Structure 1
Amino acid sequence: MEEPVLTLKEVAVYQKENLVLKDINLEVMNGEFVYLIGKTGSGKSSFMKTLYADLPLKQGHGRVVGFNLKTMEEKDIPYLRRKLGVVFQDFKLLPDRNIQKNLLFVLKATGWKDPVLMNARIEEVLEKVGMKTKGFKFPHELSGGEQQRVAIARALLNDPELILADEPTGNLDPQTSVEVMKVLQEINKTGRTILMATHDYALILKYPSKTLKCDGSKVFEVVQKAV
């Protein structure tokens, strides 16, 4: 039987000394598309940060793409993040360089050396998100939706086993949110696992999928019904 991409057992999530979430038990299998919902302040971002080792796992057992979050050392974090793609609400593109150089920066930072391979990879991921002709543009020359597409392309660079999308449509209007969602759906169809934190219930109704909820310091699966 194949190993889950993500397993958490009896996990508690802390922000410094404050307990944010407790008693988390869940598995995400390869190829799933999973929503993480919950009110602002319910712990969604802290949950995500624990998964990409921005917050240390102090309690419980957690495995993400083959890494043990509890025993992992500081030096292993870059290797974990190479197998994850993280998409943020506010895009996090570097404003002082064009899109091509933004993506090049990530490849160099994650150990790529060959310029030919790097350029080919950048072209490939930009094409996947419908931004192939925009590599020479700077972030400020793009719309919010285009910037988020580039952010998704950046998350794909290292062929991640799991994409963590933290409110990827949070700063976008409804129409653009649907376009970005379609990109994520297409990526999921190629067999990639996506965990997406959102409070956009319209998207969940339009694209129903397995849903986890943060509420009352717990994370649990909700059975979808008409809201």
Structure 2
Amino acid sequence: MAEAILTLQDAAIYQENNRVLNNVNLEVKRGEFLYLIGKTGAGKSSFLKTLYGDLSLLEGEGSIVEYDLKKLKEKDIPYLRRKLGVVFQDFKLLPDRNIHENLLFVLKATGWKEKAEMNLKIEEVLDKVGMKMQAHKMPHQISGGEQQRVAIARALLNDPELILADEPTGNLDPQTSVEIMNVLKNINENGKTILMATHDYALIMKFPSKTLKVEDGTIFEVVQRTV
């Protein structure tokens, strides 16, 4: 049986002093692909921020990639984030350097030293998202969909155990969104666990998978209607 990569028990999620979510009980198994849906402002981003250490878990129990979220210290956060890949809606590429240099910056920041190893790793992750030939280009020279592919490649650099994607298709047109979903699904089929926040219901219908809903201050699994 697949082991749990993320568990929460009776957890409350706070944004500053406001309780955003309450009584969250959740288990994500290694290798799963899950959607996290809910209206804007329902608490999806606060939930994800708690998972990657941006917000503290103040109530309840939580464990992610073998880190205890309740006991997480400031000094642990960089190590936690090496085991997580985070993909944002707005790509967050550094505009003053090319694609290869963007990824090199992340590797250096996370402790890589060997130049040949770094170059090899960058080539490998760009190849996985179909961007190997664009490594010399600047972010402004490629499309939004291509920038998101690079952002996914960046999330793969440290071979994460879990990828958290926060509205990764939010700024993209429908066709490009489908292309990005195909990239993410392919990564999932190769063994990576993915938790993706979205409110693109067309995508969920096209790529059905286990779905969690954030509503009325808590999170629960919803069963998708099949036509």
Normalised-by-shorter TM-score class: over 0.9
1:201 alignment counterpart? 201
Instruction: Give 3-state SS (helix, strand or coil) of 1:92's partner.
Output: coil
Cα separation, 2, equivalents of 1:95 and 1:75 = 28
Q: How far 1:2 sits from its partner (Å)? A: 4.9
1:103 lines up with 2:108 in the alignment: no
Q: Please give the residue correspondences for 1:78-97 in structure 2 after superposition, counting only pairs within 5 Å.
A: 78-97=78-97
Q: How far 1:226 sits from its partner (Å)? A: 4.4
Return the TM-score normalized by structure 2: 0.99
Cα separation, 2, equivalents of 1:171 and 1:42 = 19
1:143 alignment counterpart? 143
Q: How far 1:3 sits from its partner (Å)? A: 3.2
Could you list the runs of 4 or more consecutive aligned residues of structure 1 that deviate by over 2 angstroms after TM superposition? none
Cα separation, 1, equivalents of 2:165 and 2:109 = 21
Gaps of 5+ in 1: none
Cα separation, 2, equivalents of 1:49 and 1:134 = 31
Gaps of 5+ in 2: none
Cα separation, 2, equivalents of 1:90 and 1:22 = 28
Q: How far 1:72 sits from its partner (Å)? A: 1.2
Cα separation, 1, equivalents of 2:143 and 2:72 = 38
1:132 lines up with 2:132 in the alignment: yes
Cα separation, 2, equivalents of 1:9 and 1:71 = 14
Identity %: 72
Give the alignment's Cα RMSD to 1 decimal. 0.9
Instruction: Give 3-state SS (helix, strand or coil) of 2:152's partner.
Output: helix
Cα separation, 2, equivalents of 1:8 and 1:22 = 11
Paired residues, what number? 227
Instruction: Give 3-state SS (helix, strand or coil) of 2:148's partner.
Output: helix
Return the TM-score normalized by structure 1: 0.99
1:167 lines up with 2:167 in the alignment: yes
